[in-house]
Copies of this chain bind each other. A is one copy, B any other.
């Protein structure tokens, strides 16, 4: 009986072996946001996962938002948050608060990672000119200091990775004239992943991955090639709000990322489970022609 428990433990580690091997020294960009950022325990689990990935040889890069806290601080100073098409209307005061709050959230994540024994370095998209932006005009509307990434200078990230740091990034960038801009976190993560030619881009979302039955989170599809995903859209299996999400993944893949993961951030340690177990806990969308991911397919 004791031996059984032993063997179970050993088997979990051994099950991880081929994945550790395959993704050794690969870059994984983790977009961290949503409800996984609110629950303190989930937050710790995400950071634990990133640290473990780093220790077993991956090169994780965290990009995070700070949505709830920004709104809270805005209200504290008497400003009512406003959104257009899901993007925060950002006047000068809002920008100042956003920058301060994101910097603070960033600093807290750095603390957590370091308590687990790695060295982390928190940066914004301004440090090392990581993210150069221009003013975004979604649907030709001006929503203030919201930036669209026009250039990514990855030197600061690759330097930090080579120097064995865990980079933790918050999405504030600057334009050619030195003006700061707030950037949508998903957008920033995708641009960074593409510029780094990351092997993986993982989104921690508030939904399971792509499901065949929207009412059953366990019906998520484990692996999808781009071509297959297009077909599922055509066939009406992928529907509604999931369509733009999946199409977004296509763009990252076209830009040079090998695999994009859509994970349910509400599952503790979803990153580890997705990457180190055969079934995973979300959907991975892959470039056509990339070698099979080796886990049991779900259909």
Contacts and interface: CB of A to CB of B under 8 A. Distances in A.
A269 B55 CA distance: 21
B114 A129 contact: yes
A126 B103 contact: no
A10 B269 contact: yes
Interface stretch (A1-9, A30-38, A199-207): A1-9
Q: Which has the most chain B C-beta neighbours within 10 Å: A20, A76, A172, A281?
A: A20
A174 B56 contact: no
A104 B107 contact: no
Nearest to A55: B20
Q: Which has the most chain B C-beta neighbours within 10 Å: A10, A76, A99, A277?
A: A10
Interface string A111-138: 1101111111111101111000000000
Contact of A21 (B15, B112, B117, B121): B117
Contact of A127 (B21, B120, B172): B120
A51 B269 contact: no
Copies held by the complex: 6
A89 interface: no
B10 A272 contact: yes
Contacts of A163: 155, 159, 163
A80 interface: no
B56 A55 contact: yes
Contacts of A51: 17, 21
Contacts of A165: 128, 156, 159
